[in-house]
Structure 1
Amino acid sequence: MKTLKQTVIAAAFLTAGLLSAQDKAMNNMIKVGATAGLAVPADNVSAAVGVDVAYQNLITPGFGLGIASGYTHYFGKDNEGYSNNDVGVVPVAALFRIYPKQTGFYFGADLGYGFLVGDKNVASNSAAERPDGGFYLKPELGYHNQNWNFFVQYQKVFTGSGSDLPSQDYNVGSIGAGFSYNIPLGN
């Protein structure tokens, strides 16, 4: 059964690539963009803004692989008597994108490790230390043309429960929207 699933998934990727009409002259690109979102759940942070940079290679006209990084700043908030500090996320991730058509909707994700940067403590009035990072996940669904991508995303760094404070979980995640500009590097 597992082999059948893998075969069906591989065939779907291949079919999407063969049926797509992506411009072959734009196989390699740098994507530079910005994002904004609201924290979910919002125990210790309230909102997020960020910048993204990624390299993508179109393996087939409808399927891209690459690497992604950037910086997202999460704004701390007061909760349950704690003055939570701001925290930043610097991801180092692999990306994949599926483009069914030359222009239109696409989907994909970034998967990797998210480094947490900023104040050493979770809150200014607590000795609980913030973790160094964790598994990073950023699925996105969007609309694209040759130059631009507009998308909605969910971003999360899974840190475990080592930095939880009494009555609140330590969370670094958001749901939001963003855009990126594609800088072609040629074939």
Structure 2
Amino acid sequence: MTTQTISTSDRVLRQQILGSRRFSNYWWATIVSIGGIGFLLAGISSYLHKNLLPFSDATGLIFVPQGLAMAFYGTAGTLLALYLWLSIFLDFGGGYNEFNQETGFVKIFRWGFPGKNRRIEISSRTEDVQAIRVEIREGLNPRRALYLRIKGRRDIPLTRVGEPMSLSELENQAAQLARFLGVPLEGL
């Protein structure tokens, strides 16, 4: 599920946005970790002439060029796995959308890359919201996303990046949000 809608009252709508902590990222981080460490251990085993792998004997590999290539690919795979695990830990893209009619503000929050701009917060008054825009693009690289159109600003994306959500889920979410804010729905 892309977003989880949590309504604390009739006047506050809060949607949790799933960032990089999704099943596919855990899956690929695990697979790349196993492969990277395996290749690295095979390269080191060929250099030391001592088997470090429990399921195979890599001591028979000649270090130059086979063991060196294995160590290179193992290092690259391990570094990629480290990046994937770090992105899961830091939850890039995760956050929430909060539409509060009590205070009259819309708040969009996301976690970004480490640094001084890690916290990405966009706040605006609810009366400045002009519309909810739906973008549907099919084909080789499909895109299904919701945008918040605000006076004097670019359209702000409300859905996460990644696999596109189903059309029915997108339509339901857009209609619910447009109804809650009392603004028109564009793009459907």
Scaled by the length of structure 1, the TM-score of the pair is 0.26
The TM-score normalised by the length of structure 2 is: 0.26
- Does 1 or 2 have the higher relative contact order (CA < 8 Å, sep 6+)? 1
Q: Which has the larger radius of gyration?
A: 2
